[in-house]
Amino acid sequence: MSSYNRILTIQDISCVGQCSLTVALPILSASGNETCILPSAVLSSHTGGFKGYTFRDLTDDIPAIVKHWISEGIDFDAFYTGYLGTARQVELVMNIINSPLRKPDSHIIIDPAMGDNGVFYSGMGGEFLSAMKRLITMADIIIPNVTEACMLTGIEYRTNYDQQYIRQIVEGLTSIIGDGKTIVITGVGFRKGETGVGVYSDGNEFHYPHVKLEKNVSGTGDIFASAFTGALINGISTQESACIAADFTLAAIKETIENPVHWYGVKFETVLGEYIKRVVRN
């Protein structure tokens, strides 16, 4: 791909909280690529710890936006989806990927954002899960966490596991999305005090471990997926992109962890310069 690409990212806007589009847009732009957005909803804040937040569903606006883009001859070098609130929105994303907006060599990167710590996010489950299983078949790369990988495969979620357990999950995901695709699983750790990211493709497996910080903060999955996508679209290998994204996410958490006032998100902006140095290559 050329060094300057047009990426479309489809997910919600949580106006306060450093997640979804307020993370994806700056990180992807910092990678040196044009970043276009298709908001699935607008929230005054994310839902993790805030009370009384506002929510406006934009599902009905999506077809008209897509129609306008097609009429203008706009197309994209990559599609990256994050949080989608309903099965209907997942169906609309599938229509977008099958539309003239897609170039023949476009990258399709799906973060099947559905849950964490073994449970679904609010309002998700049966119908949404079925729709997401159909969407990931269209992806070149999927980026689930361990919880989401278990949901997609029907494998029991565990907090203690070995490499064979992850291999079983990878086999299950491969049976859904098909051979020749890449699976990137976040939150994979085989030792106490350790987490990391696993990259699996065509029988090859790669695990990049790092220290597990005790504090849980919102938005880390969005930061990882956005940083990974930006690196990948710049021609960096899948494995190196995963390492860069993991390092960036960890550095951002470290920036945040000692600040009790900043409980609602991750201060990724303060380490964005280091990310740029690693992904923008002349």
* Mean pLDDT value of segment 120-133: 90
Q: Which helix (H) or strand (E) holds 262?
A: none
Residue 277, H or E segment: helix 272-279
The vertex-69 CA angle with 68 and 74, nearest 5°, equals: 155
Distances 267 to 204, 220, 256 between C-alpha atoms, Å: 34, 10, 6
Q: Of 268, 281, 278, whose CA–CA distance to 242 is shortest?
A: 278
* First vs last C-alpha separation in the chain: 14
| Coil/strand/helix, residue 55 | strand
pLDDT for 248 equals 97
Mean pLDDT over each residue of the chain, to the nearest integer: 94
pLDDT, mean of residues 139-164 = 97
- Kindly tell me if the per-residue pLDDT of 165 is higher than 90: yes
- Distance of CA 220 to CAs 16, 145, 186, Å? 15, 11, 10
| 26-48 pLDDT tens trace | 999 999 999 999 999 999 988 88
Rounded-to-integer distance, Cα 282 and Cα 277, Å: 10
Checking DSSP bridges between strand 76-81 and strand 102-110, what pairing results, if any? parallel
Local structure of 137: helix, strand or coil: coil
pLDDT band at 201 (very low <50, low <70, confident <90, very high): very high
Fold for the domain defined by 6-275: UDP-N-acetylmuramoyl-L-alanine:D-glutamate ligase (3.40.1190)
Q: How confident is the model at residue 282 (pLDDT cuts 50, 70, 90)?
A: low
Residue 129 has pLDDT above 90, yes or no: yes
pLDDT of residue 1: 44
Strand pairing report for 6-14 and 194-201: unpaired
Question: What pLDDT is attached to residue 70?
Answer: 98
